[in-house]
Structure 1
Amino acid sequence: MPYRRTPAVQARLDDRRRDLLDAARALLADEGYAGCTVAAVAARARIATGSVYRHFPSKSVLAVELFRSVVTTEVDAVSAAARRPADPAEGVAAAAETFARRALRRPRLAYALLAEPVDPAVEAERLVFRRAFRDVLAARVAEGTASGRLPAQDPRLTAAGLVGACAEALIGPLSGAPTAYAPGPPTAEPPTGDPHAADPHTPARLAAFTRRALGAPRADDP
């Protein structure tokens, strides 16, 4: 008769797997993918390195699952922001602003998700990530064009362009911002004078850019 794990044994294994993912998530936020070695994850979780392989057969498998778990949280946050305003254009703008604010609060993590060199398996997941954001935006753009609130346009093409533009606009600040930014009054220039530093006004400016790209600018846009 093949061995079957008891519920108690399975629960302990599930807990250990969650502990490993939590440790990997903390390392990702502090050091990026380069710091997420199997040995570092094991040390952060306070277990033997060999024990990690009982749950994840390779660093690549661990990195893919880690990426999925982190990205799911980000997509959920952006999706909730996109649904909140009644106006479709404001929903898309809110999604772009939320994406940027969350990225700038945890720049090392966001840079890892967006641009850090990674294994091919994680790069494939990165494409899935971008498409998930595209689909969130495309749904609201389609709503706006169907109702006549937005000019006629291809919702998926517009959404893909917005996702790419937001990511590109953030990569410089994220790569040059080792610590999270503190929300404060808008500034004309980044606080440090560094052109790659995180400017607290960036999320609002991306929201304004999004409205203009959709054909729905607002008079008080910065």
Structure 2
Amino acid sequence: MDIHFMAYQATARTEARKVDTQQMLLRSGHRIVARGGFSALSMARIAQQAGMATGNLYRYFTDKATLSVALFERASTHEMHAVFECVNHRAAPIVQLEMLLTAFLQRAHANPQLAYSLVAEPVDPAVEQARNEHRRRWATRFQAVIEDGIEQRQFAPQPAALAATALVGAMAEPLAVPPSYASFCASDIAPLVQFCLRALSA
């Protein structure tokens, strides 16, 4: 067998194991953040859950900030996919938007600590930068639905990008309170969704 091919196979296996270990560590970190927020996260705690020495963790993440960003990206992307998978994309835009907003808030209510951590918990500047990027991603996805609604005259003519950005803020603000205050209730979901729809309506 070609020695170069054997070396390639060995490298590929090593990289695959590294990726698997990184994902395992991220799952452990996700559980910590979902229960206690980013303030509860530490390299030592993740290493303990993974059954490895803390020093070995730095083979996969250079520092806590890098790990925190990776955790934020993983959790936020998962939430976005989960919300948009709930939508019937053949429905009218106003129905799609109602489904999106309802799914977003229901998931936030189901895990208020994770919602607060992703939306408003004080975090490292690198995580805050990732948070701002994900807000833009949410706005871009909402903008597409709003543009369809304007075209079909279900929403009033308006700058769709600005409306989408405002919508993200309206959805995030009620979640920007630590869950220990228990300020966001299930009964708040429908009124908040209707508030957002009225703001866009013709």
Q: TM-score, normalised by structure 2?
A: 0.89
- Structure 1: stretches of 5+ with no match in the other structure: 178-195, 217-222
Instruction: Tell me the equivalent position of 2:191.
Output: 205
Q: Residues 6-45 of structure 1 correspond to what in structure 2 (within 5 A)?
A: 6-45=11-50
Q: How does 1:26-175 map to 2 (within 5 A)?
A: 26-84=31-89, 86-172=91-177, 174-175=179-180
Q: 1:173 to 1:56 in 2, by over 3 A?
A: closer
- Checking the alignment, whether the CA contact within 8 Å between 1:83 and 1:91 is kept in structure 2 is yes
Percent of pairs with identical residues: 36
Task: Give the gaps of 5 or more residues in structure 2.
Answer: none
| Counterpart-to-counterpart distance in 1, 2:18 and 2:89 | 38
1:133-178 Cα offsets, whole Å, 9 max, x none, are: 111111010001112222101111111111101111222373524x
- The number of aligned residues is 197
- Counterparts of 1:207 and 1:77, CA distance in 2: 18
* Paired letter, 1:149: Q
Aligned in 2, Cα 1:148/1:155: closer, same or farther, shift over 3 Å? same
Alignment deviations for residues 44-100 of structure 1 (CA, whole Å, 9 cap, x no partner):
111110011000000000011111111111111222345546111221122111111
Letter in 2 for 1:48: A
Structure 2 counterpart SS, 1:40: helix
The whole-number CA distance in structure 1 between the counterparts of 2:176 and 2:28 is 25
For the aligned residue pairs, the C-alpha RMSD in angstroms reads 2.0
